[in-house]
Amino acid sequence: MISKRVAELLTAQIASELTAHMLYYSISVYFRRQSLQGWGKLFFDAGNEANWNKYVGGPVPVNANMCQQSTIDKDPAKVQAYTTACYRAVQWIKKSSAEEILAAIEPYVGSTSRESNLLEIQAVKDVTDYNGMIDPASFERGGRMWFREVSGIKPVKLADAFDGSFLTKAHAKYPG
């Protein structure tokens, strides 16, 4: 869980960084779709692990579930239940095919084509971290984007930003 202080600092930045990251990723998926249609050619695939590792250096935390410290203090069982449910959902995504996932969510995805939906789901599956833990190296890589003058966010330590204890318990109960 992320501390309240970091949540306050990162809320706006997460939105912009996640938007930028997802835009970069979505553009990559968009151009993959265009290439499949014969309308263009993808020359750099941000969803390709080798490309990502070459230019970014490895995994970067881009999405987080936040919880106020007062909620953790007041009802840790509720926080554990939520964390475990999220972890189990991610494990279902990991073991399910793109077709199975689409079957579960198809009524909610709008008017995009089946082929586009399957491409998007598979692309997300390919870049998802199914473990969920944030290690020092990935936090440092992310920090190069988050903690800079333009963001106005001062650097924080990983220990002040992330508490993996609830996730560790979910891992123990439901080994992935």
Count Cβ atoms within 10 A of the Cβ of residue 90 and give its class: 0-12 exposed, 13-18 middle, 19 or more buried: middle
121 has pLDDT over 70: yes
Lookup: tokens for 125? 């599956």
CB 6 within 8 A of CB 25: no
Mean pLDDT for all residues in the chain:
79
Residue-wise pLDDT for 75-117, tens only, equals: 999 999 999 999 999 999 999 999 999 999 998 887 788 988 8
Domain ranges of the chain: 4-173
pLDDT at 46 over 80: no
* pLDDT tens column, 62-84: 777 888 889 999 999 999 999 99
Cβ neighbours of residue 131 closer than 8 Å, sequence gap 6 or more = 171, 176
What is the mean pLDDT of the segment spanning 17-40? 54
**What are the pLDDT digits (tens) for 138-164?**
999 989 888 988 888 899 999 988 889
Q: Is the pLDDT of residue 37 over 70?
A: no
Question: Per-residue pLDDT averaged across 51-66, rounded?
Answer: 83
